Amino acid sequence: MNTGISTRLMAAVVLTAAGWSELATAATPAQLLAQYNAQAAAPSSAERGGILFTSRHASNWSCASCHGVQPTGLGQHAATGRPIQALAPAFNPERFTDAAKVEKWFRRNCKDVLGRECSASEKADVLSWLISLKP
Amino acid sequence: MPTKLKWTARRMAPLLLALLCLPWPIYAEDDEGERFASVPLLPLYKQECSACHVAYPPGLLPAQSWRRLMSGLPRHFGTDASLDATSVKQISDWLGKHAAPSAYGAWATPTEDRITRSAWFGRQHNEIPARTWKLPAVKSAANCAACHTRADQGDFNERYVRIPR
């Protein structure tokens, strides 16, 4: 019985620690852009990022299908209708502040829109365009 | 006439008794939603799943459906909802524990594991006209919050339903 409880307690501690380590990926949009730029071969282009964001690719969707052509206000999930908060960091300070979350969503959404994962240079392009959008 | 009635009653009694013994769902039609929605949501489940849709109460699907959904997240109703293995495990375990009671058997597993294809979902929404489902504010039957104003809190009580026009 005691062993059971202590095992469970240990599991809880480990899980909590795992949760914290995932939280410990805090970053700023500028830091993330610098990281993607460092991985990419060429410097990023906000203009290219804007085009990538708003045009349709392999699927019927573009990034703008859910985030809006100007991702500075509320978007709407194309399938479920759920509201999506603004994506441009100047309009939503929570955006691009967690590296793991950013990677998770780039992975999922690039697969939905492009049918593949995005390259570091594509991520840098999109992020630099999003950062360039100002109130 | 009275003799015939008596005879009918005698013939029907075993049949009525047999009907009563059938495994009718325990939940009455009025409070299906209430019954299903009463579990406090696991914060990780809410965080991950409600990014795209309402954090559906776990009792809305049987464990078998949740298992299939959680093992196919990279192809989740047409979108990639892939998640790290640790989170998948934690959420799956919790969903399994709070899923619809297995006593209701296979009939409770809806087509494509869609909540909206469950028999009870049809019963509960049979008064909603087709045009309402097509409203831009509704968009999809999966968009509970379009009418259930407290869906985010797991409250599907009819009192808080506001159907857009």
Domain containing B32: what range? 27-160
Which range has the worst mean pLDDT, A50-54, B4-8, B158-162?
Answer: B4-8
Domain boundaries, chain A: 26-132
Inter-chain CB proximity B79 and A108 less than 8 Å: yes
Q: Which residue from B53, B74, B84 is facing A82, i.e. has the nearest CB? A: B53
Q: Are B140 and A80 in contact (CB under 8 A)?
A: yes
Is B10 among the domain residues? no
**pLDDT tens digits, one per residue of B69-117:** 999 999 999 999 999 999 999 999 999 999 988 766 556 789 999 999 9
> Concatenated DSSP letters for B91-108?
HHHHHHHHSBPGGG-GGG
pTM of the entire predicted model: 0.77
Pairwise CA distance, residues B44 & B46, whole Å? 5
Scanning chain B, the segments in alpha helix (DSSP H) are: 2-21, 32-36, 43-49, 63-70, 85-98, 119-124, 130-133
Is B11 among the domain residues? no
Whether pLDDT at B34 is above 80: no
Distance from CA of B79 to the nearest CA of A (A): 6
Place of tokens 């409770």: B108
Whether pLDDT at B29 is above 90: no
Neighbours of A26 (CB within 10 A): 10
Residues A54, A128, A47: CA angle, nearest 5 degrees:
50
Tokens of A65: 């299908």
Which range has the worst mean pLDDT, A22-31, A58-67, B2-11, B95-104?
Answer: B2-11
- Specify the pLDDT at position A3: 46
Nearest to A47 by CA among A135, A118, A124: A124
- As a whole number, mean pLDDT of residues B62-67 equals 94
Tokens of A18: 């795992």
**pLDDT tens digits, one per residue of A41-72:** 899 999 999 999 999 987 789 999 999 999 99
Closest B-chain CA to A111: B80
- Specify the pLDDT at position A32: 97
Closest B-chain CA to A80: B143
Is B116 among the domain residues? yes
For domain A26-132, give its CATH number from 2.60.120.430, 2.40.50.140, 1.10.760.10, 1.10.1040.50. Answer: 1.10.760.10
β-partners of residue A26 are A98
Collapsed DSSP state (helix, strand, coil) of residue A75: strand
Q: Are A35 and A114 in contact (CB under 8 A)?
A: no
Residues B110, B114, B120: CA angle, nearest 5 degrees:
55
Substitution target in A108, A109, A112, A116 with the highest count of B β-carbons within 10 Å is A108
- Specify the pLDDT at position A60: 86
Q: Are A32 and A97 in contact (CB under 8 A)?
A: no
Tokens of B108: 């409770």
Total number of domains constituting chain B:
1
